[in-house]
Amino acid sequence: MAQERITVEAIVNAPIEAVWKAYTTPDQITQWNFASDDWHCPNASVDLREGGKFTSRMEAKDGSMGFDFEGIFTKIIPNERIEYAFGDRSAVVEFTPEGEKTSLKVSFDPENQFPIEQQRSGWTAILNNLCKHVEGH
């Protein structure tokens, strides 16, 4: 039986165009795409089109562990929605304007290796890093 999708959300204190750019530009992705301060994202690539591939490398700063996160974009609606497949799972990223702010919602299929709450907290931490990056903190 398939598990229910996990959804994480954040309100970014920035206009939608800035949030979209941060989410889809490799130079910016490397500045926020990690869950804790002892990790980093040394490189990322984005071919922002349906059927295009994306990759990002996440690793511990001490070099003790790391992994590649990659997938294929399945739907792109600029400044509104990104859908992608990664392995046998998929995710949807929704960008919604809230006045001068942007609501960002990510829904994804959980994996079986780690507990749901650990997955939720990891993805939430990454989303919070994106907020900090875009807001200039």
Between CA 37 and CA 44, with CA 41 as vertex, the angle to 5 degrees is 160
What sign does the CA torsion over 34, 37, 39, 44 have? Answer: positive
- Residue-wise pLDDT tens digits, 45-75: 999 999 999 999 999 999 999 999 999 999 9
Token code pair at residue 115: 């507990």
Compute the Cα dihedral for 62, 127, 54, 68 and give only its sign. positive
Domain formed by 6-135, architecture: 2-Layer Sandwich (3.30)
pLDDT digits (tens, 9 = 90+) for 78-95: 999 999 999 999 999 999
CA separation for the pair 81, 32 (Å, rounded): 19
- What average pLDDT does the segment 102-127 reach? 95
- Rounded to the nearest 10°, the torsion over CA 126, 128, 132, 134 is 70
Residue 2 banded pLDDT, cuts 50, 70, 90? low
The answer to whether 16 and 129 have CB atoms below 8 angstroms apart is no
pLDDT-based confidence at residue 137 (cuts at 50, 70, 90):
confident
Question: What is the model's pLDDT at position 23?
Answer: 98
pLDDT digits (tens, 9 = 90+) for 24-45: 999 999 999 999 999 999 999 9
Q: What stretches of 33-85 show up as alpha helix (H) in DSSP?
A: none
